[in-house]
């Protein structure tokens, strides 16, 4: 029995920069090897961005354009697209792209999905900068206890607590 393909949705946040967003969308549309939809969220642009993007993709069944009446900020703007992807498009996977991203590997999405493992909550990839150098990864794989200990250490320092201070440092070394 053939496995049902995953539903993939790419969310791209636009704010006042339709040229950049159109370049990003067009690069994403070149993807091969998997089916996907694109949701562009115009985050309250006060210029012609929404109108131009809407006109550009109004006949493309792969692209949906949403509009926020106000600038919700980066996280809430993305959350608007994520909510639409989950509730309306029933996405199994959501790929967030900054509007200044150009996807150069035409099998990028299918490669990401092929590395899917149920024990993983978020998959990221290498980011290549304009100068062709790889961006240094922000975070390596960490286990839940390490995250909890890290935040306890921050609160200890922030509030001047001395709760389990030596034990936290010892346990953190175990997870490094």
Three-state SS for 49-77 is: HHHHHHHHHCCCCCEEEEEECCCCCHHHH
Name the percent of the chain lying above pLDDT 90.
56
Confidence class for position 63, pLDDT limits 50, 70, 90 = very high
Residue 79: how many CB atoms within 10 A of its CB?
Answer: 15
Name the percent of the chain lying above pLDDT 70.
76
Confidence class for position 130, pLDDT limits 50, 70, 90 = confident
In terms of average pLDDT, the best of 64-68, 103-107, 167-171 is 64-68
Q: How far apart are CA 65 and CA 162, in angstroms?
A: 51
Instruction: Give the per-residue pLDDT at 41.
Output: 98
Q: Is 15 exposed, middle or buried (0-12, 13-18, 19+ CB in 10 A)?
A: buried
86 against 137, higher pLDDT? 86
**DSSP type of residue 8:** E
pLDDT tens-digit map of 144-153: 566 666 677 7
Average per-residue pLDDT in the chain?
A: 85
pLDDT tens-digit map of 7-57: 999 999 999 999 999 999 999 999 999 999 999 999 999 999 999 999 999
Quote the Cα angle for 149-154-147, to 5°: 30
Least Cα distance to 39 among 73, 83, 76 occurs for 83
**Sheet of 8-14, strands arranged across:** 63-68, 36-43, 8-14, 93-97
Query: What's the average model confidence in pLDDT over 127-140?
Result: 70
Q: Is the pLDDT of residue 81 over 80?
A: yes
**pTM for the full model?**
0.74
Instruction: Give the per-residue pLDDT at 71.
Output: 96
**What's the sign of the alpha-carbon dihedral 18, 51, 106, 9?**
positive
């Amino acid at each position: 029995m053939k496995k049902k393909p995953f539903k993939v949705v790419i969310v791209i946040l636009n704010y006042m920069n339709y040229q950049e967003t159109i370049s990003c969308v067009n690069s994403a549309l070149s993807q091969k090897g998997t089916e996907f939809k694109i949701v562009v969220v115009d985050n309250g642009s006060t210029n012609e961005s929404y109108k131009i993007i809407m006109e550009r993709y109004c006949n493309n069944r792969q692209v949906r354009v949403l509009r926020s009446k106000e600038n919700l900020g980066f996280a809430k703007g993305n959350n608007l697209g994520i909510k639409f992807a989950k509730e309306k498009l029933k996405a199994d996977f959501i790929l967030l792209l900054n509007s200044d991203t150009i996807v150069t590997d035409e099998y990028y999405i299918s490669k990401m999905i092929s590395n899917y493992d149920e024990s993983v909550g978020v998959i990221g990839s290498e980011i290549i900068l304009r100068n062709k150098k790889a961006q240094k990864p922000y975070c390596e794989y960490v286990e839940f206890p390490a995250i909890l200990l890290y935040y306890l250490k921050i609160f200890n320092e922030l509030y001047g607590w001395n709760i389990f201070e030596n034990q936290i440092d010892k346990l953190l070394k175990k997870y490094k």
